[in-house]
Amino acid sequence: MSEARRLLVAELGRRPYGEVLELQRRLCRARQEGETTEDLLLLVEHDPVVTLGRGTRETSLPLSPEQIRARGVEVFDVERGGDVTFHGPGQLVGYPILDLSHHRQDLHWYLRTVEEALIVALGTLGIPGERSVGQTGVWTRGRKIASIGIHVKQWVTFHGFALNVSTELDYFDLIVPCGIAGVTMTSVQRELGSTAPADLAAAARDAVTEAFGRVFDRTPHPAMFEDWNFAAPRLPF
């Protein structure tokens, strides 16, 4: 297999948001500087956290950051595009570290392709995914199931998407998700109900991994992080 055609997939388990944010930044710099040459997809689950993108408006925060923190939820200002969103247990969060110079230098194309990957993955799980005109993310039957917010530096991507798998949806009441008034959030578990696979988290990871490989024309390949010192990571590839 040609090295340029692989998509390294790193399953990081459950990690605090701040650690993975710094990891993304390090990996983005490494890709820019040529220390790494392969596309990478980080898959992770976070402790409860609200992130404020560059487009966050006051109206998107019915509670102040201090009030949110008082409820045991972290708050981070980040460089990604988009409005406010929530990450937490039961959610599959993905951070693609891709060099768009080897794909297509077009941010609109990239956003639509990430959406397509999630729609394909949801289809594998038996859920009809759809877009909403003028909005970024993925819906099903009018309910929002996945959020997307990205940042790109020198055509290298980071930040990414959050797919609600078995997320406790009440957390979204802390914010106006993605700044969309009246939006109804849903999850894979809520949509599938009793038909959900026994190991829904694994089924969602597998579906997303396969779909990302397909739409970005890459072959998923596991990145082995078992011996990685997460606090001061060395690049394992």
C-beta separation of 145 from 164 below 8 A:
yes
Q: What is the mean pLDDT of the chain?
A: 93
| Position 232 pLDDT exceeds 80 | no
pLDDT at 36: 86
pLDDT at 233: 56
Amino acid identity, residue 214? R
Cα–Cα distance between 28 and 152 in angstroms, integer? 9
pLDDT tens per residue across span 75-129: 999 999 999 999 999 999 999 999 999 999 999 999 999 999 999 999 999 999 9
| Position 234 pLDDT exceeds 80 | no
Mean pLDDT computed over 7-35: 94
Catalytic residue among 68, 169, 178, 223: 178
Burial of 96 (0-12, 13-18, 19+ CB in 10 A): buried
pLDDT tens per residue across span 169-192: 999 999 999 999 999 999 999 999
- List all residues 6 or more positions away from 200 whose beta carbon is below 8 Å from its beta carbon: 165, 166, 188, 189, 192
Within 10 angstroms of residue 98's Cβ, the number of other Cβ atoms is 25
pLDDT at 223: 87
Share of the chain above pLDDT 70, in %: 93
**What global pTM score does this model have?**
0.94
pLDDT tens per residue across span 195-218: 999 999 999 999 999 999 999 999
Structure tokens at 232: 């001061």
Mean pLDDT computed over 56-74: 96
* Listed residue (5, 40, 44) closest to 21, CA to CA: 44
Determine the CATH number of domain 3-221: 3.30.930.10
178 is catalytic: yes
Amino acid identity, residue 126? G
* Listed residue (109, 141, 145, 117) closest to 41, CA to CA: 117
| Position 70 pLDDT exceeds 80 | yes
